[in-house]
């Protein structure tokens, strides 16, 4: 050192240079350069952003082919960063294609950019980049300037007329802490509902039952009861069963045998059918016995021709001669 024409900085000079804080202009310039880098470069493959481009729930931009390589390549990550680096960049936000939304940019055909195509807002015609705050809508993926969405205050996409809510307006590459906090809260709410960033059902989530304790759950029971009631009114012979009052009046002392139901699988229907058959057989037997008794009673007449009652019938009173034969 020394005698070489140079100068040696003193301690005071070194401390003064280290303690100097960057100015506001320097901070904005650094942020602008960082935004410009993310608007033009995919963080996974470190290549130029080219359509198709996708975005995660944090508003970051990726080439779709880089996301596909990360999801399908396993440990072999040829063409992109290492598996550990990709997982660190994604932060667990992308586990499948349902966790990203493909963006639909409006391309400026009049102005040709030297390095890449220019993307503009279809409403304000402003070119997207570090100087324009851009947002996209979920689930359609159309990209607009934040100014256009704020001024129009609509609930349908201006390109495809698909409805959306204010929670599904996603800022691209947000820099404000409030925007990042809103996106984090939205991701937590969707996860609790079993949905992904694209509003599609998350794989492995259970199906939600509608009114599990309400009328929908009681409907199958009512239908089963109605079907059982219809089956109970049928008999194997095709005749309708008796009214419930007639069945209820019958004593429960005699239980019909289920084997007499002619192969009916329903136990209640088989029992009712057996009872109906038993009643029909009982009625036939009684009618048969009543007819036989009428025939027998006609032989055992207890009245004589003169209208006087006889003390006995012809089988018990014995043989008597008529009056004409005695003379």
Q: Which pLDDT tens digit goes with each residue over 102-148?
A: 999 999 887 665 567 889 999 999 999 888 999 999 999 999 999 99
Give the list of residues 6+ apart from residue 33 with CB closer than 8 angstroms, or none.
130
Question: Is the whole model's pTM more than 0.85, yes or no?
Answer: no
Q: CATH code for 24-192?
A: 3.30.40.10
224 vs 221: CA distance, rounded Å: 5
Q: Which pLDDT tens digit goes with each residue over 234-264?
A: 444 444 444 444 444 444 444 444 444 455 6
Angle at which helices 215-232 and 267-299 cross, to 10°: 30
291 vs 285: CA distance, rounded Å: 10
Is the model's pLDDT at 18 over the cut of 70? no
Is the model's pLDDT at 176 over the cut of 70? yes
Burial class (CB in 10 A: 0-12, 13-18, 19+), 60: buried
Residue predicted with more confidence, 39 or 216: 39
Among 29-38, 50-59, 250-259, where is mean pLDDT lowest?
250-259
Confidence band for 9, pLDDT divided at 50, 70 and 90? confident
Q: Which pLDDT value is given to residue 231?
A: 46
Domain ranges, ordered by start, for the chain = 24-192, 231-291
């Amino acid at each position: 050192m020394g005698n070489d024409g140079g100068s040696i900085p003193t301690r005071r000079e070194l401390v003064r240079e280290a303690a100097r804080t960057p100015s506001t202009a320097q901070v904005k310039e650094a942020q602008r350069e960082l935004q410009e880098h993310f608007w033009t470069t995919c963080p996974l493959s470190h290549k130029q952003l080219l359509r198709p481009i996708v975005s995660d729930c944090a508003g970051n931009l990726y080439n779709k082919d880089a996301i596909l390589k990360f999801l399908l390549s396993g440990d072999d990550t040829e063409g992109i960063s290492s598996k550990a680096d990709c997982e660190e960049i994604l932060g667990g936000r992308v586990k499948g294609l349902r966790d990203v939304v493909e963006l639909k940019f409006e391309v400026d055909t009049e102005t040709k950019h030297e390095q890449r195509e220019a993307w503009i807002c279809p409403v304000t015609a402003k070119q997207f980049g570090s100087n324009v705050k851009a947002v996209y809508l979920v689930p359609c993926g159309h990209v607009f300037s934040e100014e256009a969405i704020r001024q129009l205050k609509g609930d349908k996409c201006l390109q495809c007329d698909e409805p959306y809510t204010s929670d599904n307006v996603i800022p691209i590459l947000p820099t404000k802490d409030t925007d990042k906090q809103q996106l984090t809260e939205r991701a937590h709410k969707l996860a609790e509902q079993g949905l992904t960033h694209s509003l599609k059902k998350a794989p492995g989530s259970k199906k939600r039952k509608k009114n599990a304790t309400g009328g929908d759950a009681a409907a199958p029971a009512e239908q089963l009861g109605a079907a059982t009631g219809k089956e109970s009114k049928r008999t194997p012979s095709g005749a309708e069963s008796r009214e419930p009052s007639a069945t209820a009046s019958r004593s429960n002392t005699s239980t019909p045998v289920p084997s007499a139901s002619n192969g009916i699988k329903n136990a209640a229907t088989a029992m009712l059918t057996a009872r109906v058959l038993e009643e029909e057989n009982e009625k036939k037997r009684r009618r048969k016995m009543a007819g036989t008794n009428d025939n027998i009673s006609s032989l055992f007449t207890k009245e004589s021709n003169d209208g006087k009652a006889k003390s006995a019938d012809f089988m018990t009173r014995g043989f008597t001669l008529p009056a004409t034969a005695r003379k």
